[in-house]
Amino acid sequence: MNSNLFDLTDEVAVVIGGTGGLGGAMAEALADAGAKVAILGRSEQRGQERVQSITAAGGTAVFQSADALDKGSLTDARDALAEKLGTPTILINAAGGNHPDATLPPGSNFCDLPLNAWQQVFDLNLVGGVLLPCQVFGQSMVAAGKGSIINIASMSGMIPLSRVVAYSAAKAAVINLTQFLAREWATTGVRVNAISPGFFPAEQNRALLYQEDGSLSERGGQIIGHTPMARFGKPEELGGAVVWLASAKAASFVTGQNIVVDGGFSSVTI
């Protein structure tokens, strides 16, 4: 196999949400493959920590402050990065999350779910998570005739999991928008794909998966029992899929796809 298929030297990757665990691991994988990486987010402290981790390993990275829900902020960040690193050719949309008020506890009534909580989850995962970044960075990629956009969806976007109704619906919309943009930009040189991670313990879901003493929660145990590999994923296990989709050589004919990295969770129907 030609190892140069996965060489991202001279590529400029923007990772929105790179201050988080999963986004940060993907940023490191891109840097390991040779890309110059920009970490975008609102937390400069966490962003700089990720930059230091990448540079300590011999990679190139910078932090750029930006608000994914503010188109002007994203445009300013894009223009600043063009001067610092060059025109972005890879975009990872890893920002997202849930809201407690949009989660249905056992015995609760769906009809009582607050509209503002639903809207917050959709804004975070769909508007700021995909729509605005794709409009801003996708515009420059289309103009350049080159680019790979990778949206981070979720297992719950494929399977309407209990309780996280707004999050599941928003991530389903992420997959749909990914497919729309892939078709829209198919002849421009810009590829658009999604990755749907299975269950990866992170800050936002750790309390859902584990008890305070570190043992599995009831829900965590159910998930493990439904996963053929009988474990949760590790953030670095997303790196291969990200580098593959980012590479114009390795994935040149791949667009509009939702790549599942879930330990077999979605293959079990009963």
Full pLDDT tens readout for the chain, 270 residues:
456 999 999 999 999 999 999 999 999 999 999 999 999 999 999 999 999 999 999 999 999 999 999 999 999 999 999 999 999 999 999 999 988 898 898 889 999 999 999 999 999 999 999 999 999 999 999 999 999 999 999 999 998 887 899 999 999 999 999 999 999 999 999 999 999 999 998 877 777 788 888 899 888 898 999 999 999 999 999 999 999 999 999 999 999 999 999 999 999 875
Q: How far apart are CA 10 and CA 15, in angstroms?
A: 16
Q: How far apart are CA 40 and CA 88, in angstroms?
A: 12
* Neighbouring C-alpha atoms within 13 Å toward the C-beta of 221: 6
Asked if residues 27 and 50 have their Cβ atoms less than 8 Å apart, the reply is yes
The predicted model scores a pTM of 0.95
Domain 3-198+233-261: assigned CATH number: 3.40.50.720
What is the structure's pLDDT at 1?
47
Q: What angle do CA 19, 241, 226 make, to 5 degrees?
A: 90
Catalytic positions, please?
167
What is the structure's pLDDT at 219?
85
DSSP structure class, residue 217: P
DSSP structure class, residue 210: B
DSSP structure class, residue 90: E
Report helix, strand and coil shares of the chain as percent, to nearest 5.
Answer: 50, 15, 35
Q: How far apart are CA 132 and CA 42, in angstroms?
A: 16
What is the structure's pLDDT at 3?
61
Torsion of CA 118, 124, 125, 128, to 10 degrees: 140
What is the structure's pLDDT at 209?
86
Q: How far apart are CA 69 and CA 131, in angstroms?
A: 9
| Conformational region of residue 223, where left means phi above 0, alpha means psi within -120 to 50, and beta covers everything else | alpha
* Neighbouring C-alpha atoms within 13 Å toward the C-beta of 181: 29
What is the structure's pLDDT at 205?
78
Pairing mode, if any, of strands 36-41 and 12-16? parallel
What tokens were used for 17?
Answer: 């949400």
- Could you tell me which residues come within 8 angstroms of residue 247 by beta carbon, excluding any fewer than 6 positions away? 5, 6, 7, 8, 33, 148
DSSP structure class, residue 127: I
Q: How far apart are CA 156 and CA 199, in angstroms?
A: 10
Q: At what angle do helices 71-84 and 132-144 cross, to 10 degrees?
A: 40
Q: How far apart are CA 130 and CA 171, in angstroms?
A: 10
The continuous run of DSSP H or E covering 72 comes out as helix 71-84
